[in-house]
């Protein structure tokens, strides 16, 4: 190998089209800045301003070294046969078997997994030679037999396949009692285990089963705890330099990938800087149009490559090759060079009494071993975060190391992605919660990592860390524009149509193109857009709230293990790409409520336009973007409406969710009408104080034209902060819309200054009879609206509420005078504001001008 050692073992190439990326992201950024100017207090929906450099990596030749594979399993939801496939697939790597050890961690231990592994070790004696002989790939028996024709290697297949089928049948049974302790296997007679041979007489990789001790009172730290137990136990037994960690729901799909990964770590020039090599997480059960966006296409095909050029990708928890020492806390030093010839020869250890080894290993894997040690704090995978992998990877980077993303043509590993909506949402909740915890932790990429990793990488980490936070802007855009649409208030100022449209349309068409480049389908993109929305409005929202609760000590960390088995019917629906709801989790209620709210607002707006408004469908002129946004939201939610009202199968949304969400959505939509009435701009209000903390303020109003006595009007805005929708309405109102409530005796006038010709003026009022419930009146008021020259614009007689708008034919103050006919004082909520419309044409009609 001497000649190979001094030539590079891998090269890094720059991606094509980076100039395009940069220009495009720059223009988007400028667009966003425009929006910011108007929406200072809101974070835009898409803070992603672009992609980074996108290099791609390729290896040249293979290394050769002692190393080992780790797997973990949880009995119950993770069926033994799946685990065994993982084990067998990595045992069959094209690699010297005497330098390979495979460890399986089983939380608390289960008899069935143990015996499944024991028998699998016997099956392996035939399977490994078979794989070697026919260069089998994938080396997971289940995956291989699924793809193979019975005519291929017919002779050998006749003996090996039925054994596998029988094995599979036996272990697809129910789980029995627990079993704990550590067992080192590979031979029925365990004493011979170090020298286990396959049917051809070749040495086999060492196989170790670790039942991790779990006690109710002792924190077992979920997957990070399992990994740390494995690190300790393996250091005692084989102590390989490289640790590969694979989740039990994945299998090796590329028997070369181990050698390739070593190329990065063994490279003479750069290898010593690299702490880990991450492969993408790919899945075998993704349907054609990827209903739940599980393929994580853009993440792995674009974003991770980009991070590669900034110091390396995240540690994604599976399919990752680590250096043992670095995982155990070693700091970076330039001098770090590894003597790759120095490794523990497992064969040498046969003299060690097996019993002794078992006893020592038991101590290392006991749940009390870590008490008062640095495990989980500085050594091994870090504890206390539901995304132990990302956090650990970040801390490695902060210690000065780099990482590499390796994305081979033939997928290195294939796994199982969640195949129902609730599972997808739960997984994303765990991820976004973990990401947010990292942001708030002492490893925060926002501040702790400053100076330790490159600013670009800091930004890249923050992009993930802020996932949970993104729920707020997303919820804002899902709720407020639709509510305002129902009310008839344009939210996107007309002058803003261009930057808004550019950012929204530019970003979504870019995302679609990117998705298609990555071999996705248009329907797949649409599905991903839906999941994008659902994650942000449910998983991220719950993650945000939970993280805050946890940081105040109100709730405990959990790790909800993703389910890996699905009922037959559920799988069938998944194949047909029918969305699976199937339970009544609060997350689904939130999704259904938002879906219905959008539907009600859009329908309400249409009905109002068609039947109530005199202007017909002219709302589309002023509120095109809002109508579009609501329309897209309604279209995207079609599967939810079907799940709520049309489907009969088990995967539909339960009745309870339908009832709750309908009631909630109706309430918010109705409440909107009332709260909106309270707010709105009264432009001639000269001085206003507005307290953001309690939502109340006072304004002094003066009628410009008629020099009325300055009149104090107190705005009472009772903000039900507990009510999300109200709170959001208030937030959104702060910069643009203020309302006025006043008490009228006989006559009260207000004026509103119109600055541009052809501006559309929106006004509404409602007569409220607060504190007067004992004195029944249903008297209305009269309202006369006059233009700047005193010309009549509108007249209403004896009405209790009204919403109307008109196009101003000239600039100047418009007057709104209320006359009270009843003998009592009346309380009136009134709002008026105008929108500037460009390129409009007007036709006079009854004192009112219409556009177009
Ligand atoms: O208490 C636990 C919890 C989990 N696991 C194992 O951890 C792995 C990952 O769990 P899974 O439920 O499959 O989670 P996913 O959401 O699929 O995992 C993704 O997200 C995790 C972090 O949240 C990463 O660690 C994983 O590598 C990544 O695949 C599985 O092999 C489990 O057996 C344990 O051993 N003990
Ligand atoms: Mn998983």
Which pLDDT tens digit goes with each residue over 395-404? 999 999 999 9
Tell me, using a 6 A CB cutoff, whether residue 561 lines ligand 1: yes
Distance, CA of 334 to chain centre: 37
More confident site: 173 or 267: 267
- Residue 47 pLDDT class (50, 70, 90 cuts): very low
Q: Which ligand is nearest to the CA of 212?
A: 1
Tell me, using a 6 A CB cutoff, whether residue 724 lines ligand 1: no
Residue nearest to atom 19 of ligand 1 (CA): 317
- Residue 212 pLDDT class (50, 70, 90 cuts): confident
247 is in an annotated binding site: yes
Residue nearest to atom 32 of ligand 1 (CA): 73
The span from the CA of 566 to the CA of 575, in Å, is: 12
As given in the structure block, the two tokens for residue 776 are 């029944």
Positions marked active-site: 107, 389
Decide: residue 351, CB within 10 A, 0-12 exposed, 13-18 middle, 19+ buried. exposed
Residues with Cβ within 8 Å of residue 553, at least 6 apart in sequence: none
Tell me, using a 6 A CB cutoff, whether residue 83 lines ligand 1: no
Tell me, using a 6 A CB cutoff, whether residue 249 lines ligand 1: yes
Task: Record the pTM.
Answer: 0.74
Residue nearest to atom 1 of ligand 1 (CA): 222
Tell me, using a 6 A CB cutoff, whether residue 73 lines ligand 1: yes
Q: Which atom of ligand 1 is nearest to the CA of 74?
A: 33
Q: Return the best residue to mutate from 220, 223, 320 for the ligand 1 pocket (most ligand atoms within 8 A of CB).
A: 223
- Residue 116 pLDDT class (50, 70, 90 cuts): confident
Number of helices (H), then strands (E), in the chain: 26, 26
In tens, the pLDDT along 153-196 reads 777 788 888 899 988 888 876 544 434 444 555 444 444 455 67
Distance, CA of 767 to chain centre: 45
Q: Residue 577, Cβ neighbours under 10 Å: how many? A: 16
Contact 56, 9 (CB under 8 A): no
Candidates 802, 797, 803, 804; CA nearest to 821 is 797
ipTM (interface predicted TM): 0.97
Residue nearest to atom 9 of ligand 1 (CA): 247
Phi, psi of 184 (to 5 degrees): -105, 120
CA of 416 to the centre of ligand 2 (A): 6
Residues with Cβ within 8 Å of residue 23, at least 6 apart in sequence: none
Mean pLDDT for the chain overall: 78
Q: Which ligand is nearest to the CA of 113?
A: 1
Residue 302, helix vs strand vs coil: helix
pLDDT given at position 345: 60
Q: Which atom of ligand 1 is nearest to the CA of 418?
A: 17
Q: What is the DSSP letter of 563?
A: P
Contact 485, 626 (CB under 8 A): yes
The span from the CA of 249 to the CA of 232, in Å, is: 23
For the chain, give percent helix, strand, coil, nearest 5: 45, 20, 40
In tens, the pLDDT along 602-630 reads 999 888 877 766 555 566 677 888 898 99
Residue nearest to atom 24 of ligand 1 (CA): 317
107 is in an annotated binding site: yes
177 is in an annotated binding site: no
In tens, the pLDDT along 504-557 reads 889 989 999 999 999 999 999 999 999 999 999 999 999 999 999 888 877 666
Q: Which ligand is nearest to the CA of 562?
A: 1
Candidates 319, 281, 326; CA nearest to 303 is 281
Tell me, using a 6 A CB cutoff, whether residue 831 lines ligand 1: no
CA of 150 to the centre of ligand 1 (A): 35
514 is in an annotated binding site: no
């Amino acid at each position: 190998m001497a000649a190979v050692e001094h030539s590079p073992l891998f090269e890094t190439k720059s991606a094509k089209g980076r100039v395009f990326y940069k220009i495009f992201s720059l223009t988007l950024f400028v667009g966003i800045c425009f929006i910011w100017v108007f929406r200072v207090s809101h974070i835009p929906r898409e803070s992603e301003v672009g992609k980074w450099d996108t290099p791609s990596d390729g290896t040249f030749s293979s290394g050769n070294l002692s190393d080992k594979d780790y797997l973990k399993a949880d009995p119950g939801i993770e069926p033994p046969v799946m685990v065994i496939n993982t084990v067998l697939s990595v045992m069959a790597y094209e690699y010297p078997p005497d330098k390979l050890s495979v460890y399986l961690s089983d939380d608390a231990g289960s008899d069935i997994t143990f015996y499944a592994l024991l028998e699998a070790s016997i099956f392996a004696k035939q399977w490994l030679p078979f794989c070697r002989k026919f260069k089998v790939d994938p080396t997971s028996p289940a995956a291989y037999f699924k793809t193979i024709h019975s005519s291929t290697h017919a002779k050998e297949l006749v003996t090996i396949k039925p054994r596998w089928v029988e094995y599979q049948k036996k272990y697809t049974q129910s789980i029995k009692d627990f079993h704990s302790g550590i067992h080192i296997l590979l031979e029925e007679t365990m004493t011979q285990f170090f020298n286990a041979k396959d049917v051809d007489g070749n040495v086999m990789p060492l196989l170790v089963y670790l039942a991790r001790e779990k006690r109710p009172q002792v924190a077992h730290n979920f997957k990070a705890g399992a990994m740390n137990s494995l690190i300790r136990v393996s250091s005692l037994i084989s102590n390989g330099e490289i640790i590969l960690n694979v989740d039990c729901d994945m299998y090796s799909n590329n028997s070369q990938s181990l050698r390739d990964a070593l190329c990065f770590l063994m490279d003479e020039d750069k290898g010593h800087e690299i702490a880990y090599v991450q492969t993408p997480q790919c899945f075998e059960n993704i349907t054609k149009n990827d209903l739940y966006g599980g393929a994580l296409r853009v993440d792995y095909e674009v974003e991770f490559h980009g991070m590669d050029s900034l110091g390396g990708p995240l540690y994604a928890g599976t399919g990752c090759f680590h250096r043992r020492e670095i995982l155990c806390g070693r700091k970076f030093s330039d001098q770090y060079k590894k003597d790759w010839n120095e490794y523990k020869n497992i064969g040498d250890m046969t003299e060690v009494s097996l019993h002794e080894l078992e006893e020592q290993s038991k101590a290392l894997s006991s749940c009390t071993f870590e008490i008062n040690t640095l495990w989980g704090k500085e050594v091994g995978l870090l504890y206390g975060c539901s995304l132990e992998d990302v956090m650990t990877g970040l801390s490695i980077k902060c210690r000065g190391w780099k990482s590499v993303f390796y994305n081979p043509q033939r997928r290195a590993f294939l796994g199982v992605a969640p195949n129902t909506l609730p599972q997808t949402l739960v997984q994303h909740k765990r991820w976004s919660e973990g990401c947010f915890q990292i942001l708030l932790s002492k490893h925060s990429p926002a501040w702790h990592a400053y100076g330790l990793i490159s600013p670009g990488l800091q930004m890249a980490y923050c992009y993930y860390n802020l996932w949970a936070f993104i729920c707020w802007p997303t919820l804002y855009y899902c709720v407020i524009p639709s509510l305002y649409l129902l009310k008839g208030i344009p939210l996107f100022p007309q002058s803003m149509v261009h930057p808004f449209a550019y950012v929204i349309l530019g970003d979504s068409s870019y995302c679609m193109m990117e998705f298609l480049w990555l071999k996705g389908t248009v329907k797949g993109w649409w599905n991903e857009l839906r999941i994008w929305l659902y994650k942000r409005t449910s998983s991220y929202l719950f993650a945000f709230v939970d993280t805050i609760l946890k940081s105040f000590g109100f709730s405990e960390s959990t790790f909800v293990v993703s389910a890996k088995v699905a009922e037959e019917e559920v799988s069938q629906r998944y194949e047909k790409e029918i969305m699976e709801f199937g339970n009544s989790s609060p997350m689904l209620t939130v999704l259904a409520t938002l879906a219905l709210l959008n539907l009600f607002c859009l329908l309400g707006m249409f009905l109002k336009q068609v039947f109530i408004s005199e202007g017909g469908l002219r709302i589309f002129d002023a509120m095109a973007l809002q109508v579009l946004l609501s329309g897209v939201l309604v279209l995207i939610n079609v599967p939810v409406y079907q799940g709520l009202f049309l489907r009969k199968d088990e995967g539909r949304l339960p009745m309870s969710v339908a009832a709750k969400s309908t009631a909630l959505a109706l309430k918010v939509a109705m409440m909107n009408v009332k709260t909106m009435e309270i707010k709105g701009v009264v432009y001639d209000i000269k001085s206003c104080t507005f307290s953001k903390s309690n939502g109340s303020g006072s304004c002094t109003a003066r009628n410009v034209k008629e020099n009325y006595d300055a009149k104090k009007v107190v705005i009472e805005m009772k903000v039900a902060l507990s009510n999300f929708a109200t709170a959001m309405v208030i937030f959104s109102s702060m910069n643009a819309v203020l309302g006025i409530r006043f008490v009228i005796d006989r006559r009260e006038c207000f004026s509103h200054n119109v600055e541009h010709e052809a501006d559309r003026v929106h006004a509404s009022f409602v007569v409220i009879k607060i504190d007067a419930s004992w004195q029944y009146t249903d008297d209305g008021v009269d309202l006369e609206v006059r233009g700047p020259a005193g010309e009549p614009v509108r007249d209403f007689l004896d009405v209790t509420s009204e919403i109307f708008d008109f196009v101003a034919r000239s600039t100047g103050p418009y007057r709104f005078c209320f006359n009270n006919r009843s003998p009592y004082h009346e309380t009136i909520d009134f709002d008026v504001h105008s929108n500037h419309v460009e390129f409009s044409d007007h036709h006079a009609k009854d004192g009112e001008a219409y556009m177009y």
